[in-house]
């Protein structure tokens, strides 16, 4: 295998499980000294995340116990752990020209809810020629009591429907009263900005 092929295989392996350079080398049949610099390079490029997939739970759809499921615009999906729910809130497009070539950029907006509270919106991008191709985003949100790290894997099926897979981890945090107040003020300001933006674009 050449370096490009090794890079692709390492990326695929580390998206699914936590492995050491030695374990990856054994799986791919290459020397450990070739693996470590590629991992460092991929992390710098943002191609892989410095998180441990072993700590993440699969988001299991409550109704049918599936970890990959179709969600349509305006649909709610309830996940089994931590009272998480996903709402497919909106779609919109941007179009323009890049190096004299016309492009259309599709966006899908999801909301992650914890019980009756919105944790975060997630705006994902896909292009018409990427239908059927899986992409992923990693995001993190803090509340007064907990931190959620969420990996959302998404595959565009049509302009209004997505196949998604969700992995997440939760950590408890302890904040002082002044820290809680500062976090709440920041969250309120972000929600206000998002709400104003949504009203302007989705009247």
Higher pLDDT, 175 or 38: 38
Task: Pull the structure tokens for residue 109.
Answer: 């907006």
Query: What digits encode the pLDDT tens for the residues 78-98?
Result: 887 788 889 999 999 988 877
Cα–Cα distance for residue pair 117/97, rounded to 1 Å = 39
105 in Cβ contact with 94 (< 8 Å) = yes
Tokens 């089994």 belong to residue: 80
Predicted local confidence at residue 53, as pLDDT: 47
Indicate whether 44 pLDDT > 70: no
Task: Pull the structure tokens for residue 101.
Answer: 């070539």
Q: What percent of the chain has pLDDT over 90?
A: 13
Higher pLDDT, 183 or 45: 183
Residue 202: closest CA among 89, 71, 118: 89
DSSP track, 83-140: TEEEEEEEEEEEEEEETTEEEEEEEEEEEEEETTEEEEEEEEEEEGGGTT-EEEEEEE
Predicted local confidence at residue 111, as pLDDT: 92
Distances (CA, A) of 157 to 31, 125, 150, 186, 203: 40, 13, 22, 35, 25
- According to DSSP, residue 76 is labeled E
Distances (CA, A) of 53 to 50, 84, 151, 155: 9, 19, 10, 20
Indicate whether 162 pLDDT > 60: yes
Beta strand segments in the chain, E: 57-58, 69-72, 76-78, 84-98, 101-114, 117-127, 134-142, 146-158, 161-172
């Amino acid at each position: 295998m050449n370096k490009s092929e090794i890079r692709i295989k390492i990326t695929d392996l580390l998206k699914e499980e936590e492995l050491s350079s030695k374990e990856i080398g054994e799986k791919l049949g290459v020397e450990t000294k070739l693996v470590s610099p590629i991992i460092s390079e991929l992390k710098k490029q943002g191609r892989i995340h410095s998180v441990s997939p072993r700590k993440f739970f699969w988001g299991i759809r409550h109704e049918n116990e599936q970890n990959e499921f179709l969600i349509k615009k305006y649909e709610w999906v309830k996940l089994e752990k931590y009272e998480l729910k996903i709402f497919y809130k909106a779609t919109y497009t941007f179009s323009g020209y890049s190096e004299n070539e016309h492009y259309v950029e599709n966006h899908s907006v999801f909301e992650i809810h914890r019980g009756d509270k919105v944790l975060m919106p997630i705006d994902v991008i896909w292009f018409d020629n990427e239908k059927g191709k899986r992409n992923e985003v990693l995001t993190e949100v803090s509340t007064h009591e907990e931190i959620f790290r969420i990996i959302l894997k998404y595959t565009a099926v049509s302009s209004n429907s997505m196949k998604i897979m969700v992995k997440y981890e939760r950590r408890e945090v302890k904040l002082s009263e002044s820290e809680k107040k500062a976090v709440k003020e920041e969250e309120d300001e972000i929600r206000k900005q998002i709400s104003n933006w949504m009203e302007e674009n989705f009247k």
